[in-house]
Copies of this chain bind each other. A is one copy, B any other.
Amino acid sequence: MKIIVDAMGGDNAPIEAVKGTIDAVNEYGINAILVGKSSIIENELKKYDYKKEKIEIINAEDIITNDDDPAMAIRRKKDSSMVVGAKALVDGLGDGFLSAGSTGALLAAGIFIVKRIDGIDRAALSVMYPTLKGFSLLLDAGANVDCKPEYLHQFALMGSIYMENVMGIKSPTVGLANIGTEKGKGNLLSKETYELLEKSNLNFKGNIEARELPSGDVDIIVADGFVGNVVLKLTEGMAASIFSILKEEFTKDFKTKIGAGLLKPALKNIKGRMDYREYGGAPLLGLKKPIVKAHGSSDAFAIKNAIKQLIKFIDKDVIKIIESNNHVLINNLEVDNNDL
């Protein structure tokens, strides 16, 4: 197996991207291609011990940043590490692609260069959402802000296949992010999506209220990209603001400082439990080849974990399973349409 890594993507590139890739090569025995300015990458590679034949470089002079307009950048920056990496994936030089760069640009690269699976209407950004019980797969986390019920149905299907095969969860449960638990609650989109999911052969557990999302009662949380992104970002924002309140209150006087000192390991544990780095990357589901987005602020450890996830994504043939299941889904829908 050979994976392609965007060496220039993310806040800590190329240092952490290169180090994480080497760690993954050493630990998992895979081969890798690093895409980016070869002189810079070579300089980084020199610092480490690894089997030289296991890592290649493909040169790319340009870099896409978060300030670039995603779709425009993919069209114009032909020699960027992201575009060159995505093309290498399409050309079969590697089996999967990882980048910690701009989410929007990576999605655009996926859609315009790698292309969607036939019959899948929209590709979804799927993130590991930390919960009290571990994590849920949240999709769509922001790729598609205006959705139709069929898209959400496809997200649920792709998420189920991913969780079953990559994360090893038997018959994973699906919940629809909503503002009430009963059937019939929510907006037009949620009501129609409920109907589709109820009729599907997925393990659909009904609506899940936003209040219950952090409890982690379902394996897959389905939402349109606007709501999914609000959920993801607000969760981060709430965690950050509660920790800032804790810090403020815990450093108020001598007594609280002593208390906080005694709780230091516990507080560190808590932060660890919410650490995105533990959960690997965010798979882009619905594309013809495996692509995983690592968090923009990934360090080598996070890159390595995201690569581990990409390896499983490739190894378990998730895309083939999505392709074959999607045919069943399309056929079922056709039957349903005839029924009307």
Contacts of A263 in B (CB 8 A): 249-250, 256, 259-260, 263
Protomer copies: 2
Is A246 in contact with chain B by the CB < 8 A criterion?
yes
A242 to B, closest residue via Cβ: B242
Task: Determine if A258 and B266 form an interchain contact, defined as CB atoms under 8 angstroms apart.
Answer: no
Task: Determine if A245 and B132 form an interchain contact, defined as CB atoms under 8 angstroms apart.
Answer: yes
Interface residues of A in 134-176 (CB under 8 A from B): 142, 145-146
Contacts of A179 in B (CB 8 A): 142, 145, 225-226, 229-230, 233
Contacts of A234 in B (CB 8 A): 210-211, 213-214, 231, 234-235, 238
Interface residues of A in 237-275 (CB under 8 A from B): 237-242, 244-246, 249-250, 252, 255-256, 258-263, 266-267, 269-270, 273
Apart from A145-B179, A177-B230, A226-B227, 12 more pairs, CB < 8 Å: A179-B226, A179-B230, A211-B234, A211-B236, A214-B240, A215-B241, A230-B230, A239-B242, A249-B269, A256-B262, A258-B259, A262-B262
Question: What are 27 A-B interface contacts by the 8 Å CB criterion?
Answer: A132-B244, A145-B179, A146-B187, A146-B188, A177-B230, A179-B225, A179-B229, A210-B229, A210-B231, A210-B232, A210-B233, A210-B234, A212-B237, A213-B237, A214-B234, A214-B237, A214-B241, A234-B234, A246-B270, A249-B266, A249-B270, A250-B263, A255-B262, A256-B262, A259-B261, A259-B262, A263-B263
